[in-house]
Structure 1
Amino acid sequence: MIEKSLATGYAQALFEVASERGGADDIEKDLEGIKDLLRTNRKLRDILYHPSIIKTDKKDLIDKIIAPQCSSKWVRNLIYILVDRRREKMLDYLPDVFKGVAKRIKGVVSVKVQTAIPLTEDRLANLQESLKKLTKKKVELETEVNNEIIGGMVIRIENKIIDGSVINHLKNLKKNLLKTAMA
Protein backbone atom coordinates (compact mmCIF):
# COMPACT_ATOMS: atom_id res chain seq x y z
CA MET A 1 0.00 0.00 0.00
CA ILE A 2 2.87 2.36 0.84
CA GLU A 3 4.42 1.54 -2.55
CA LYS A 4 1.22 2.62 -4.33
CA SER A 5 1.11 5.94 -2.49
CA LEU A 6 4.79 6.52 -3.28
CA ALA A 7 4.05 5.70 -6.92
CA THR A 8 1.23 8.25 -6.86
CA GLY A 9 3.69 10.89 -5.66
CA TYR A 10 6.15 10.06 -8.42
CA ALA A 11 3.37 9.99 -11.02
CA GLN A 12 1.99 13.32 -9.88
CA ALA A 13 5.41 14.98 -9.99
CA LEU A 14 6.06 13.49 -13.42
CA PHE A 15 2.67 14.69 -14.69
CA GLU A 16 3.25 18.21 -13.38
CA VAL A 17 6.64 18.42 -15.09
CA ALA A 18 5.15 17.02 -18.29
CA SER A 19 2.21 19.44 -18.19
CA GLU A 20 4.53 22.43 -17.86
CA ARG A 21 6.51 21.25 -20.87
CA GLY A 22 3.64 19.74 -22.88
CA GLY A 23 4.67 16.09 -22.91
CA ALA A 24 2.18 14.16 -20.75
CA ASP A 25 1.01 11.98 -23.65
CA ASP A 26 4.61 11.07 -24.55
CA ILE A 27 5.33 10.13 -20.96
CA GLU A 28 2.24 7.93 -20.82
CA LYS A 29 3.34 6.14 -24.02
CA ASP A 30 6.89 5.74 -22.70
CA LEU A 31 5.69 4.25 -19.41
CA GLU A 32 3.38 1.83 -21.23
CA GLY A 33 6.24 0.84 -23.55
CA ILE A 34 8.50 0.13 -20.57
CA LYS A 35 5.76 -1.88 -18.88
CA ASP A 36 5.32 -3.97 -22.05
CA LEU A 37 9.09 -4.38 -22.44
CA LEU A 38 9.48 -5.64 -18.88
CA ARG A 39 6.50 -7.95 -19.26
CA THR A 40 7.84 -9.53 -22.45
CA ASN A 41 11.58 -9.51 -21.66
CA ARG A 42 11.89 -11.65 -18.55
CA LYS A 43 15.69 -11.50 -18.50
CA LEU A 44 15.71 -7.69 -18.50
CA ARG A 45 13.11 -7.65 -15.75
CA ASP A 46 15.04 -10.13 -13.61
CA ILE A 47 18.27 -8.14 -13.92
CA LEU A 48 16.63 -4.78 -13.29
CA TYR A 49 14.74 -6.04 -10.24
CA HIS A 50 17.54 -8.16 -8.76
CA PRO A 51 18.64 -6.67 -5.41
CA SER A 52 22.30 -7.73 -5.63
CA ILE A 53 23.03 -6.12 -9.00
CA ILE A 54 24.69 -2.75 -8.45
CA LYS A 55 22.96 0.48 -9.41
CA THR A 56 25.54 1.52 -12.03
CA ASP A 57 25.07 -1.76 -13.91
CA LYS A 58 21.31 -1.28 -13.83
CA LYS A 59 21.68 2.29 -15.14
CA ASP A 60 23.94 1.05 -17.95
CA LEU A 61 21.26 -1.47 -18.84
CA ILE A 62 18.63 1.29 -18.81
CA ASP A 63 20.80 3.42 -21.11
CA LYS A 64 21.30 0.58 -23.58
CA ILE A 65 17.85 -1.00 -23.68
CA ILE A 66 15.17 1.19 -22.13
CA ALA A 67 16.29 4.79 -22.77
CA PRO A 68 16.42 4.46 -26.59
CA GLN A 69 12.71 3.58 -26.53
CA CYS A 70 11.79 6.65 -24.46
CA SER A 71 11.03 9.95 -26.12
CA SER A 72 11.07 11.69 -22.72
CA LYS A 73 14.19 12.32 -20.68
CA TRP A 74 11.89 12.72 -17.67
CA VAL A 75 10.95 9.05 -17.78
CA ARG A 76 14.59 7.98 -17.99
CA ASN A 77 15.45 10.27 -15.07
CA LEU A 78 12.58 8.85 -13.03
CA ILE A 79 13.82 5.31 -13.68
CA TYR A 80 17.27 6.38 -12.44
CA ILE A 81 15.66 7.74 -9.27
CA LEU A 82 13.74 4.49 -8.78
CA VAL A 83 16.98 2.51 -9.18
CA ASP A 84 18.81 4.80 -6.73
CA ARG A 85 16.06 4.26 -4.17
CA ARG A 86 15.69 0.53 -4.88
CA ARG A 87 12.11 0.95 -6.09
CA GLU A 88 12.48 -0.49 -9.59
CA LYS A 89 9.46 -2.77 -9.13
CA MET A 90 7.25 0.31 -9.23
CA LEU A 91 7.67 0.15 -13.00
CA ASP A 92 5.10 -2.68 -12.96
CA TYR A 93 2.27 -0.39 -11.92
CA LEU A 94 3.57 3.16 -12.38
CA PRO A 95 2.01 3.45 -15.88
CA ASP A 96 -1.46 2.70 -14.47
CA VAL A 97 -0.93 5.06 -11.55
CA PHE A 98 0.24 7.77 -13.97
CA LYS A 99 -2.89 7.31 -16.09
CA GLY A 100 -5.06 7.60 -12.99
CA VAL A 101 -3.30 10.77 -11.85
CA ALA A 102 -3.59 12.27 -15.33
CA LYS A 103 -7.31 11.49 -15.48
CA ARG A 104 -7.94 12.92 -12.03
CA ILE A 105 -6.08 16.14 -12.78
CA LYS A 106 -7.84 16.49 -16.16
CA GLY A 107 -11.23 15.91 -14.49
CA VAL A 108 -11.96 12.60 -16.22
CA VAL A 109 -13.70 9.67 -14.54
CA SER A 110 -13.70 6.06 -15.77
CA VAL A 111 -17.10 4.38 -15.75
CA LYS A 112 -17.83 0.74 -16.60
CA VAL A 113 -21.40 -0.22 -17.43
CA GLN A 114 -22.77 -3.76 -17.69
CA THR A 115 -26.07 -4.37 -19.44
CA ALA A 116 -27.92 -7.52 -20.45
CA ILE A 117 -28.17 -6.33 -24.06
CA PRO A 118 -26.09 -3.86 -26.08
CA LEU A 119 -27.09 -0.21 -25.65
CA THR A 120 -28.26 1.78 -28.66
CA GLU A 121 -26.32 4.89 -29.62
CA ASP A 122 -29.12 7.11 -28.24
CA ARG A 123 -29.21 5.31 -24.89
CA LEU A 124 -25.43 5.38 -24.71
CA ALA A 125 -25.38 9.13 -25.34
CA ASN A 126 -28.13 9.71 -22.74
CA LEU A 127 -26.31 7.55 -20.19
CA GLN A 128 -23.05 9.36 -20.80
CA GLU A 129 -24.76 12.74 -20.37
CA SER A 130 -26.48 11.60 -17.14
CA LEU A 131 -23.20 10.28 -15.75
CA LYS A 132 -21.48 13.53 -16.66
CA LYS A 133 -24.11 15.46 -14.68
CA LEU A 134 -23.89 13.02 -11.77
CA THR A 135 -20.08 13.07 -11.50
CA LYS A 136 -19.56 16.65 -12.71
CA LYS A 137 -16.63 15.29 -14.73
CA LYS A 138 -15.88 14.18 -18.24
CA VAL A 139 -16.88 10.51 -18.50
CA GLU A 140 -14.75 7.82 -20.11
CA LEU A 141 -17.36 5.12 -20.66
CA GLU A 142 -16.70 1.41 -21.15
CA THR A 143 -19.64 -0.91 -21.81
CA GLU A 144 -19.93 -4.66 -21.44
CA VAL A 145 -22.77 -7.05 -22.22
CA ASN A 146 -23.47 -9.56 -19.44
CA ASN A 147 -26.68 -11.55 -19.97
CA GLU A 148 -26.43 -12.98 -16.43
CA ILE A 149 -27.80 -9.73 -14.99
CA ILE A 150 -31.06 -10.45 -16.91
CA GLY A 151 -31.94 -6.76 -17.35
CA GLY A 152 -31.15 -3.29 -16.05
CA MET A 153 -27.53 -2.27 -15.58
CA VAL A 154 -24.59 -2.28 -13.21
CA ILE A 155 -22.55 0.93 -13.15
CA ARG A 156 -19.04 1.12 -11.69
CA ILE A 157 -17.75 4.63 -11.12
CA GLU A 158 -14.20 4.25 -9.84
CA ASN A 159 -14.76 2.38 -6.55
CA LYS A 160 -18.54 2.86 -6.33
CA ILE A 161 -21.08 0.38 -7.69
CA ILE A 162 -24.67 1.19 -8.60
CA ASP A 163 -26.44 -2.13 -9.13
CA GLY A 164 -29.75 -1.68 -10.92
CA SER A 165 -29.75 -5.16 -12.42
CA VAL A 166 -32.81 -7.38 -12.43
CA ILE A 167 -30.83 -10.22 -10.84
CA ASN A 168 -29.89 -7.95 -7.93
CA HIS A 169 -33.51 -6.88 -7.46
CA LEU A 170 -34.60 -10.53 -7.48
CA LYS A 171 -31.96 -11.43 -4.88
CA ASN A 172 -33.09 -8.55 -2.66
CA LEU A 173 -36.74 -9.55 -3.09
CA LYS A 174 -35.93 -13.14 -2.11
CA LYS A 175 -33.97 -11.98 0.93
CA ASN A 176 -36.82 -9.70 2.05
CA LEU A 177 -39.44 -12.41 1.52
CA LEU A 178 -37.40 -14.90 3.56
CA LYS A 179 -36.87 -12.31 6.28
CA THR A 180 -40.64 -11.61 6.38
CA ALA A 181 -41.49 -15.32 6.41
CA MET A 182 -39.14 -15.89 9.36
CA ALA A 183 -40.68 -13.07 11.41
Structure 2
Amino acid sequence: MNIAEAILEKYSTDHAIAITTYAASSRAKFKELMDCFASDHYRLSQRASWCVNWAAKKYLEMLEPYIDLLVERLQRPNANDSVQRNALRILNDTNIPEQHHGNLMNICFAFIEDPNTATAVTAFSLHMLRKLSKFYPEILPELQLLIEDRIDNETPAFKSAAKQILKLKMIKV
Protein backbone atom coordinates (compact mmCIF):
# COMPACT_ATOMS: atom_id res chain seq x y z
CA MET A 1 0.00 0.00 0.00
CA ASN A 2 1.18 3.48 -0.82
CA ILE A 3 0.15 5.35 2.31
CA ALA A 4 -0.03 8.80 0.69
CA GLU A 5 -2.29 7.53 -2.09
CA ALA A 6 -4.47 5.66 0.41
CA ILE A 7 -4.83 8.75 2.60
CA LEU A 8 -5.94 10.89 -0.33
CA GLU A 9 -8.21 8.21 -1.77
CA LYS A 10 -10.90 8.19 0.89
CA TYR A 11 -11.86 10.04 4.07
CA SER A 12 -13.60 7.97 6.73
CA THR A 13 -12.91 6.74 10.23
CA ASP A 14 -12.66 3.11 9.14
CA HIS A 15 -10.24 4.02 6.36
CA ALA A 16 -8.06 6.12 8.70
CA ILE A 17 -7.92 3.28 11.22
CA ALA A 18 -7.00 0.78 8.49
CA ILE A 19 -4.18 3.03 7.27
CA THR A 20 -2.98 3.52 10.84
CA THR A 21 -2.96 -0.22 11.53
CA TYR A 22 -1.05 -0.86 8.30
CA ALA A 23 1.47 1.90 9.06
CA ALA A 24 2.04 0.62 12.59
CA SER A 25 3.04 -2.81 11.27
CA SER A 26 6.64 -1.65 10.74
CA ARG A 27 8.88 1.31 11.49
CA ALA A 28 9.43 1.93 7.75
CA LYS A 29 5.69 2.10 7.08
CA PHE A 30 5.18 4.32 10.11
CA LYS A 31 7.87 6.66 8.81
CA GLU A 32 5.94 6.84 5.54
CA LEU A 33 2.84 7.92 7.50
CA MET A 34 4.86 10.53 9.39
CA ASP A 35 6.30 11.82 6.10
CA CYS A 36 2.70 12.39 4.98
CA PHE A 37 2.01 14.20 8.24
CA ALA A 38 5.06 16.42 7.64
CA SER A 39 4.08 17.15 4.04
CA ASP A 40 3.35 20.67 2.83
CA HIS A 41 0.45 19.23 0.82
CA TYR A 42 -2.54 20.60 2.74
CA ARG A 43 -5.00 17.72 2.26
CA LEU A 44 -2.36 15.01 2.73
CA SER A 45 -1.02 16.45 6.00
CA GLN A 46 -4.55 17.12 7.25
CA ARG A 47 -5.72 13.55 6.70
CA ALA A 48 -2.42 12.05 7.85
CA SER A 49 -2.76 13.98 11.11
CA TRP A 50 -5.99 12.11 11.73
CA CYS A 51 -4.19 8.79 11.21
CA VAL A 52 -1.33 9.91 13.45
CA ASN A 53 -3.87 10.80 16.13
CA TRP A 54 -5.32 7.26 15.87
CA ALA A 55 -1.78 5.89 16.12
CA ALA A 56 -1.22 7.84 19.33
CA LYS A 57 -4.21 6.10 20.90
CA LYS A 58 -3.02 2.58 20.12
CA TYR A 59 0.68 2.75 19.17
CA LEU A 60 2.00 5.66 21.23
CA GLU A 61 5.49 4.13 21.47
CA MET A 62 5.85 4.44 17.68
CA LEU A 63 5.47 8.21 17.98
CA GLU A 64 8.30 8.73 20.45
CA PRO A 65 10.96 9.22 17.74
CA TYR A 66 8.73 11.88 16.15
CA ILE A 67 8.24 14.26 19.08
CA ASP A 68 10.62 16.74 17.40
CA LEU A 69 8.51 16.61 14.25
CA LEU A 70 5.26 17.19 16.17
CA VAL A 71 6.73 20.28 17.84
CA GLU A 72 8.22 21.50 14.56
CA ARG A 73 4.85 21.21 12.80
CA LEU A 74 3.30 23.46 15.43
CA GLN A 75 5.82 26.17 14.58
CA ARG A 76 5.05 26.26 10.87
CA PRO A 77 3.07 29.38 10.06
CA ASN A 78 1.17 27.62 7.27
CA ALA A 79 0.25 24.48 9.24
CA ASN A 80 -3.43 23.66 9.01
CA ASP A 81 -5.68 23.53 12.05
CA SER A 82 -6.02 19.76 11.88
CA VAL A 83 -2.26 19.25 12.09
CA GLN A 84 -1.96 21.70 14.98
CA ARG A 85 -4.93 20.23 16.86
CA ASN A 86 -3.77 16.64 16.47
CA ALA A 87 -0.14 17.44 17.27
CA LEU A 88 -1.18 19.19 20.49
CA ARG A 89 -3.60 16.38 21.39
CA ILE A 90 -0.82 13.81 20.94
CA LEU A 91 1.75 15.85 22.84
CA ASN A 92 -0.68 16.26 25.71
CA ASP A 93 -0.73 12.48 26.05
CA THR A 94 3.03 11.90 25.86
CA ASN A 95 6.06 12.53 27.99
CA ILE A 96 7.60 15.58 26.40
CA PRO A 97 11.38 15.88 26.58
CA GLU A 98 12.45 18.91 28.59
CA GLN A 99 14.24 20.37 25.56
CA HIS A 100 10.80 21.12 24.04
CA HIS A 101 9.14 22.68 27.08
CA GLY A 102 10.16 26.26 26.33
CA ASN A 103 9.18 26.05 22.67
CA LEU A 104 5.83 24.50 23.51
CA MET A 105 5.06 27.17 26.10
CA ASN A 106 5.86 29.92 23.57
CA ILE A 107 3.80 28.21 20.86
CA CYS A 108 0.81 27.66 23.13
CA PHE A 109 0.83 31.20 24.52
CA ALA A 110 0.98 32.53 20.95
CA PHE A 111 -1.97 30.33 19.92
CA ILE A 112 -4.03 31.54 22.88
CA GLU A 113 -3.20 35.19 22.26
CA ASP A 114 -4.11 34.99 18.56
CA PRO A 115 -7.88 35.53 18.12
CA ASN A 116 -7.69 33.75 14.73
CA THR A 117 -6.51 30.46 16.24
CA ALA A 118 -9.02 27.64 15.84
CA THR A 119 -11.06 26.90 18.97
CA ALA A 120 -9.76 23.35 19.41
CA VAL A 121 -6.14 24.48 18.99
CA THR A 122 -6.68 27.12 21.67
CA ALA A 123 -8.26 24.59 24.04
CA PHE A 124 -5.46 22.06 23.51
CA SER A 125 -2.94 24.87 24.06
CA LEU A 126 -4.55 25.59 27.42
CA HIS A 127 -4.32 21.90 28.32
CA MET A 128 -0.65 21.83 27.29
CA LEU A 129 0.15 24.88 29.41
CA ARG A 130 -1.67 23.30 32.34
CA LYS A 131 0.49 20.19 31.90
CA LEU A 132 3.70 22.24 31.67
CA SER A 133 2.74 24.40 34.67
CA LYS A 134 3.52 21.38 36.85
CA PHE A 135 7.16 21.92 35.90
CA TYR A 136 6.98 25.72 35.56
CA PRO A 137 4.43 27.10 38.03
CA GLU A 138 5.71 30.60 37.30
CA ILE A 139 3.70 30.61 34.04
CA LEU A 140 0.40 30.46 35.94
CA PRO A 141 0.04 34.21 36.68
CA GLU A 142 0.51 35.11 32.99
CA LEU A 143 -1.85 32.34 31.96
CA GLN A 144 -4.42 33.50 34.50
CA LEU A 145 -4.31 37.04 33.10
CA LEU A 146 -4.80 35.76 29.55
CA ILE A 147 -7.72 33.58 30.60
CA GLU A 148 -9.44 36.26 32.65
CA ASP A 149 -9.06 38.71 29.77
CA ARG A 150 -10.75 36.37 27.28
CA ILE A 151 -13.01 33.97 29.14
CA ASP A 152 -16.25 35.97 28.90
CA ASN A 153 -16.20 35.90 25.09
CA GLU A 154 -14.91 32.37 24.56
CA THR A 155 -16.28 28.99 23.57
CA PRO A 156 -17.29 26.23 25.99
CA ALA A 157 -14.08 24.31 25.13
CA PHE A 158 -11.95 27.31 26.12
CA LYS A 159 -13.97 27.89 29.30
CA SER A 160 -13.71 24.26 30.38
CA ALA A 161 -9.93 24.16 29.94
CA ALA A 162 -9.56 27.61 31.51
CA LYS A 163 -11.55 26.67 34.60
CA GLN A 164 -9.25 23.71 35.22
CA ILE A 165 -6.26 26.04 35.08
CA LEU A 166 -7.86 28.66 37.32
CA LYS A 167 -8.59 25.96 39.93
CA LEU A 168 -4.96 24.83 39.67
CA LYS A 169 -3.82 28.42 40.12
CA MET A 170 -5.93 28.76 43.28
CA ILE A 171 -4.48 25.54 44.74
CA LYS A 172 -0.87 26.57 44.09
CA VAL A 173 -1.18 30.06 45.56
TM bucket (normalised to shorter chain) is under 0.3
TM-score (norm 2): 0.26
- Which structure's relative contact order is higher, taking Cα pairs within 8 Å and 6+ residues apart? 1
As a proportion of its length, which structure holds more helix?
Answer: 2
